[in-house]
Structure 1
Amino acid sequence: MPNDVERDVDAIKLPQWGRVVETGGVVPYEVHDADNEPIEPVRRYLRDFVAQGRRAGSVRSYAYDLLRWWRWLQVLDVEWDKVTSAEVRELVLWLQRSTKPRRTPRTKSAATAGTINPITRKQHVGDQYAARTIRHSNAVIRSFYEFWIERGAGPLVNPVPQERRGGQRPNAHHNPLEPFRSEGRLRYNPPVPKRRPRAMPDQQWDALFTALRSDRDRALASLVISNASRAAEVLGIRCGDLDWGDQLVRVRRKGTGAEQWLPASDDAFVWLRLYLDSIGPLSPSDPVWWTLRRRRRGEGPLVLQPLNYDALRAVLRRVNDALGTNWTMHDLRHTCALRMLRDRNLSLRDIQTILGHAHLSTTQLYLEEEPEEVIRRVHQHLLDRKQTEASVPVPAPARGYNAADLAVLFGEQSR
């Protein structure tokens, strides 16, 4: 199909064709077609993806992006190995203008979708596809076709092209003593607005902590606010990962899976003790975080099950509904990081180690001043200046000048 084909993307509706299936096997997630059969090109790609050491969460994310790509190809009636950059371009245009499908319609959140929360000053999640979602989709599709092009299958050229700098071949005339530079952005990647890390004000943290309804939730929040662990990292903690004597917690880092001991506050271990005493004895290999759930929805007795990410989100959803906020677990991580940066006893290298950043440049993003803090200091500066000016006596006019004439010329301050 020619590369300059244009389609009416506003008229396209993606069908509910196929689905992502959790298998529990070597490849934890597969993409199945309408006949519930695995899509072989996707299955083989995901198998290679798993062999690279990728985690199940990443496999699931890639599977859903490839499912959407296959649905798109079904609508356009184009074979997966005959696509060009035109199909990718039209998909990006469709994503920029379409509404995300939802299993259930919005209820209370319909009025706030895409708006700014007046308390947190954060934007609520909207119904449109975010720029990061589109960029991730492009990266997945490009990676999928790179895999097949290397094996001599698929299209001759990757349908997700890169923009070359100055029209030259990437890394042409490369100096072997210097690192390779980036080959350029993907052509159809939309720009992403720069987001600054924001700390949760102390009074807002106190309100959130007070609204938590169980010792488990208080222990979990206290742990994250004291060592900036990510949600996936803190949910993966097991009883053997707690060092009660030195008040340390062992986490497995997101991405690398490397084990790291992190310090935690006294309050976090107090709430941990209260919570663990309430659920009974656990073995060192058992997860720390548990929740009461029925094995089947609406049926059977309540049983203890490990706390997962969806259940943790439900905890925050209840708190946010009560407070009228939209805080996330990652806000606690940002808050901890910015609190540590304000402590002169901690170096930037110390904070990088605690946050688990591979590069110091990532930690340096937290050095940017928060707009709210800058505004507060400027307001204080204006107030101090006003008070200083009011306390300085106005000198009397020199001999030979009429005070009434000066008042007319300069205003009442000359009096």
Structure 2
Amino acid sequence: MPGEQRPGRDMKSFVLPETGQLLETDDPWEPVQLLDSFGRPVEPAAVYFKDLMAADSSVLTPRSYGMDLLRWWRFLWALGIEWDRATREDARDFMLWMKLGDKPVRVHWRHRDKDPADIPRPSRVGRPAPGSPNPVTGKPSIGRKYAPRTRAHCETVLRSFYDFHLDRNSGSLLVNPFPLVRNRRSARANAHRNPEDDHKKERTGLYRPTVPQEIPRRIPEEKYTEVFAGLRSHRDRALLAFWVATGARAEELLTATQGGAIVGQQTIGVTRKGTRDYQELPATPDAFVWLRLYQEEAWKKGVPRGRRHPLWWTLRRPWRPLEYDAARMMFNRANDLLGANWTLHDLRHTASFMMLDDPDMPPVYVQHILGHKHLATLDIYNRPGRDDVIAAGLAHHARMEQRRKTQPVRRDPEYNPASLNVLFGGGF
């Protein structure tokens, strides 16, 4: 019940059990299911997912929200707490564990029946320590702790989940265990805001962490060439060329059909992530050259051919449309050759920088190509990046050193003896 005191628990040694699962289905009415350890659907989560789909959310939204709900349910199952009896202390301990505890290590299915001491550990020779900056890109590697962005997303999802069930009077739920900050519990956000002022980015949740502002990174041209050379197939080269040329999101380019790639107009059609609108994007001639090489090779192997068929397919039988996870692993393999940790989204940032660096390219056109709703979103690309700042600082030190070498050495001024005689009465 709300207000009841939980017995003291030691969260320092807590380990999140790997019970239950989030099952992805092929049913458009129910794209994901949250299942307990017995394979039974969790009804409160199923109702919430159905509401998300009715609100015209993307099919990826229930999966993203479901991962946070699965993490919360595993926490409740481990402590024997019913979802509608969770208190603020439970939410506090959960968010504190996400902040200070280590992420659970997922055990491969081949090793689940083995003793933990017998499980081989992957070799990390030559790799940076978890969470440390990558020596090639400067981006921090994935750490052992949950990132602030992950914790913030989880807190928002769980708070909205309990708000939804409070409105429905589900179970014995009386209060939301994930409250708002104290000065916001009885009022809506920006209730007395001047309409002429911009919205403030407020920490609405009491346990919501501060998310640092990330500066987008571009892949330098010489490093992009090395990554491109490490790709294994014409399909992968065509994908990389289109990502950098169009600035499309990784999953957007994978929605293209064979009829959407129009060589004569030098455009490729994609389905936008948020609005799900169909949009044609301009690309480079090189991208279409690699695409043609890939298609000729794929059609000879028996890949389905037709205007309405997907453009990107797997390289081996059985032929399946290429999905995001497979494309991500393809790019990671090329990254490993350089010891880098760039992501597919960095290709979109690279394309954005290249378009904005062109003085003859109006920013409003860049906004439309990237699919941003507001032109102000491009402001993040006006901030100097890490490489630019370091290069500018080194150039400054080089100029100062050159100036010291070229300027004549200043000598201390000598006193005029005649002036000293007048001042002190002679004798100098």
Give the TM-score taking structure 1 as reference length: 0.87
Distance 1:306 1:80, change over 3 A: same
SS in 1 for 2:65: helix
| Larger deviation, residues 283-292 vs 354-363 | 354-363
Indicate which of 122, 147, 153 corresponds to 2:164: 147
Query: Are the equivalent residues in 2 in contact too, given 1:95–1:129 (CA < 8 A)?
Result: yes
Which residue of 32, 35, 46 maps to 1:32? 35
Superposition deviation, residue 330 in structure 1: 0.9
- In the TM superposition, residue 184 of structure 1 has moved relative to its aligned partner by 4.5
Distance in 2 separating the partners of 1:148 and 1:159:
12
Matching of residue 366 in structure 1 with residue 406 in structure 2: no
Query: Residue 103 of structure 1: CA displacement?
Result: 3.1
Deviates more, 1:310-319 or 1:214-223: 310-319
- Post-superposition CA distance 1:102-161 (Å, at most 9, x none): 233761458532221111111111222111111111111112112111112242222211
1:258 aligns with 2:277: yes
Q: Are 1:161 and 2:179 an aligned pair?
A: yes
For 1:138 and 1:252, the matched residues in 2 are separated by 30
Please, which runs of 5 or more residues in structure 1 have no aligned partner? 294-301, 403-415
Residue pair 1:341, 1:367 contacting (<8 A) in 2 also:
no
Over residues 193-223 of structure 1, what are the superposed CA-to-partner deviations in whole Å (9 max), with x where a residue is unaligned?
2210111111111111111111111110011
Q: Measured at CA, do residues 103 and 61 of structure 1 come closer, stay the same or move farther in structure 2, by a change above 3 Å?
A: farther
* More displaced 10-residue stretch of structure 1: 182-191 or 282-291: 182-191
Percent of residue pairs identical: 39
Partner of 1:238: 257
Answer yes or no: is the 8 Å Cα contact 2:267–2:280 preserved in 1. Answer: yes
The answer as to whether partners of 1:84 and 1:159 remain within 8 angstroms in 2 is yes
The count of aligned residue pairs is 394
Is 1:248 matched with 2:267?
A: yes
Which structure 2 residue ranges, 5 or more long, are not aligned? Answer: 109-119, 418-428
Match in the other structure for 1:306: 321
Q: Distance in 2 between matches of 1:76 and 1:376?
A: 52
- Whichever residue aligns with residue 95 of structure 1, its letter is M
Say which is worse superposed, 353-362 or 240-249, in terms of deviation: 353-362
1:267 aligns with 2:291: no
Identify the match of residue 64 of structure 1 among 57, 64, 67: 67
Instruction: Tell me whether 1:320 sits opposite 2:324 in the alignment.
Output: no
Q: Among residues 15, 18, 24, which one is paired with 2:17 in the alignment? A: 15
1:316 partner amino acid: F
Residues in 1 aligned to 2:297 and 2:256: alpha-carbon distance in whole angstroms: 18
Query: Is the Cα–Cα contact under 8 Å of residues 184 and 204 in structure 2 kept in the other structure?
Result: no
Moved more, 141-150 or 10-19: 10-19
What is the DSSP-based 3-state SS (H/G/I as helix, E as strand, rest coil) of the residue aligned with 2:315?
Answer: strand
Deviation of the 1:323 alpha carbon: 1.4
Root mean square deviation of aligned Cα: 2.7
Tell me by how many angstroms 1:292 deviates.
2.8
Say which SS state the counterpart of residue 48 (structure 1) adopts.
helix
| Matching residue within 306, 310, 313 for 1:287 | 310
Instruction: Report the CA distance between 1:77 and its aligned residue.
Output: 2.1
One-letter amino acid of the structure 2 residue matched with residue 378 of structure 1? G
Work out which of the residue numbers 211, 225, 228 in structure 2 matches 1:206: 225
Distance in 1, matches of 2:270 and 2:242, equals: 12
Distance 2:240 2:389 in 1: 28
2:119 pairs with 1:116: no
| Paired amino acid for 1:289 | W
Between the aligned partners of 1:3 and 1:190, the Cα distance in structure 2 is 26
Q: Secondary structure at the residue paired with 1:103?
A: coil
Q: Which amino acid aligns with 2:86?
A: V
For the residue of structure 1 that corresponds to 2:320, the secondary structure is strand
Distance 1:172 1:390 in 2: 58
Return the TM-score normalized by structure 2.
0.84
Superposed displacement of residue 166, structure 1: 7.6
